[in-house]
Structure formats: structure tokens, C-alpha cells
Amino acid sequence: MVAPDALERFVRAALEAAGADAATTNAASRAMMHGSRLGVDSHGVRLLEHYISVMEGGRVNKAPKLRFSSGFGAVAALDADHAHGALAAYAGMDKAVELARTAGIGAVSIRNSSHFGPAGAYALAAAEAGMIGFATCNSDAFVRLHDGAFRFHGTNPLAFAVPAEGNPWLFDMATSAIPFNRVQLYRSLGVEVPAGTGSDDAGIDTLDAHAVEMLAPLGAAFGFKGAGLAGVAEIFSAVLSGMRLSFDILPMNGEDRSTPRELGAFVLALRPDAFVDRATFEDGMRRYLAALRASTPREDGMVMAPGDREWAVAAERVDGIPLDPVTVEGFGRLAEHYGLPSLDVL
């Protein structure tokens, strides 16, 4: 376990030591800490060593020049100049919120981006500004189609967030059965992947995290639904931005750390009171969530709204965030390489 403040200080210090500019350091730290604080460990600080390696290699621009363009009132396009994906996504969502304040809706297509980590972080940024937020991206192909045996889609997340009394309603999902970063986490922890989530190189299901060569689409026997949702992410993020399709993207963990991967992303903000007065909207969300949480569970079950698990984990982690062994080793290498103080593990 590591104290959250100490963990964030180390993350920021490592990024700064690697030469990331202030905007990149702020955005990447914010996104990774979102993942680690809310229990999305696969997309939390465990990504730090990887992010620094691709900055040092030249794949990700340490000091990008973001450029917005727009020919329509509520729509903008962002050329991220091969920025860290978190910087591109947060900047895109800030612009979407700005557009929504006057137009009721704001949509931003993002090009020349990179891996952005937890999609929910950017949807949540809209909810924190009083908006309904949506964020998606595509990534290198690692997910087979339903009944397929070929890597076709990335894990292609879809994330939504809605302001509500207390914590926002927050839904962040990969369109694969599990994200690949979770497979890497399972490898680090020495545990099996859940049944029906991973396949070997022939498309045959396996429980061995080290044997997983492709992921299954969300939905098990109804995996065509997950594959279809992955297509939604693909169209909004890659086709709409003119970026690479998943099967054309260089592997995230491949040996080439210098060639930009040319990822696309898409963010959207909706102003609720552009559709209905604010009091009515807030009352509707309050009644909806109250009824959802009070609904009858199955025996030994628990009914939760999207985000409830994450907010509960965040409350538990106020005093300490757990790190897996591989991440601890990676932090040790970063500390030695950059001459940083070692991180105290509780």
C-alpha cells in the first residue's frame, strides 16, 4: 500500500524527470490516479513505466502543440500532435464542455493521439462540470470477433458519466470481455483470467493469463453484441477522425517505441438543462438512482448503480493504494534511473 499523495508525487516527479511538459504531467498523472483511486488498477499507475518508455522513445510527444479546428458551431476537431492520450482527451472534453455551455451539446473528434488510459476519467470530467459526458477510443487489435479467431478490434472502451446527487453516475466499460491491461495485471499477480474472456492464438479459450493471445468480445454466447459495440467505438474514434483502424495500429507493447501510433478518440458533452429544466433533471436522476439501489437483489446478491463500486473503492483507498509486484519493481527502476527518492510502501 502507498499513501495516495505520495504516490501522485512520485508519478509526477517521474514524468517531469522524463521531460514531460507541465500539461502532459498534469493530465497523465490525473488520469492514472483516477484509475488507481477508483480501483481501475489495470489503467492506473501501473502504466507509468510504459508511458515514460514511449515518451523517451519518441512515440509520444513530451511537449505537444494541440490544435483545434471547427467549421460548425457545436463541433470541433483536435489534432493532438501525438500527445499523451490523457492530455488530448482532457483537452478535448474541456472544449466539448465549453461548446455545450452555449450550444447545449459539444462534440470533439481527436486525431494523432495515443493510449489514454481510463475512459471514465474523461466522461467524469464532463459530469464534474455539470454535463453528461461520453468518451471513447480505439486501440491496437487484440479482440477477436464473435466466433472469430483473428485479432480485429481493440478493447475499444465506452464511458458515460452523469451528474447526480453525491457522486456522479459513472459507467466505464471495455467492449472486450476484459481489457488487456487486466490480463497483464493477472500475469503480475499470478492468477487465472476468468472463464470465457481470453483465447490462445487459435481462438481457443484459456484460463492461463500467460497463454492469452487474444480477448473475447463482451457477451460470451452473445458476443456479437460486444463486437457490435466495439464497432461503435471504432467508427466514432477512428473512422470519424481519419485515424488508424484497430488492426492497423502498432502494438502498444511492441518493440517499436518511436513511431507514433496515430490513435483517434471522441468525446461528447451534453448540457442537461438544454433539454429539461435543471430541477426536473436532478429529480429524475435522484428518483432513478433511489429506485435502482432499493430494488430487490437476488439471493446473496447486491444491486449497485454504475460507479457505486468505484466510489466505494475510492473511499477505502483514501489512506492507501495497493500496488502489484510488477508495478513496484517498475517504480524501483524509475527511481534508480532518474535519481528519485524511493517510494515508501506501507
> How many folded domains does the chain comprise?
1
Q: What pLDDT score does 181 carry?
A: 78
70/90 Cα distance (integer angstroms)? 18
Q: What pLDDT score does 60 carry?
A: 98
Residue 105 within any structural domain of the chain: yes
Q: Which domain holds residue 99?
A: 64-273
DSSP three-state, residue 206? strand
Q: What pLDDT score does 200 carry?
A: 94
Residue 309 within any structural domain of the chain: no
Residue 23 within any structural domain of the chain: no
280/288 Cα distance (integer angstroms)? 12
Contact (Cβ atoms closer than 8 angstroms) between residue 108 and residue 67 = no
Q: Roughly how many angstroms between the first and final C-alpha of the chain, as a whole number?
A: 5
Strand partners for 206: 198
Give the residue among 259, 251, 228 at the shortest CA–CA distance from 141.
251
Count Cβ atoms below 10 Å from residue 329 Cβ, excluding itself.
13
Residue 336 within any structural domain of the chain: no
DSSP character at residue 60:
S
- DSSP for 82-124, written as a single string: T--HHHHHHHHHHHHHHHHHHHSEEEEEEEEE-----THHHHH
Reading phi first (left if > 0) and then psi (alpha if -120 to 50, else beta), residue 219 is in: left
Residue 164 within any structural domain of the chain: yes
Q: What pLDDT score does 177 carry?
A: 95
Site of grid cell 481527436: 110
Residue 26 within any structural domain of the chain: no
Q: Which burial class, exposed, middle or buried, applies to 23 when counting CB atoms under 10 A from its CB (0-12, 13-18, 19+)? A: middle
Q: What are phi and psi of 143, to 5 degrees?
A: -115, 125
Residue 77 within any structural domain of the chain: yes
**Bridge pairing between strands 158-162 and 169-173:** antiparallel
Q: What is the pTM of this model?
A: 0.95
- Note the pLDDT tens digit of each residue in 170-212: 999 999 999 887 898 899 899 999 999 999 999 999 999 999 9
Residue 224 within any structural domain of the chain: yes
Count Cβ atoms below 10 Å from residue 220 Cβ, excluding itself.
14
Which CATH number fits the domain that encloses residue 125?
3.30.1370.60
- Note the pLDDT tens digit of each residue in 118-133: 999 999 999 999 999 9
Stretches in the chain below the pLDDT threshold 50? none
Count Cβ atoms below 10 Å from residue 279 Cβ, excluding itself.
9
Contact (Cβ atoms closer than 8 angstroms) between residue 264 and residue 113 = yes
Contact (Cβ atoms closer than 8 angstroms) between residue 49 and residue 333 = yes
Q: What pLDDT score does 180 carry?
A: 84
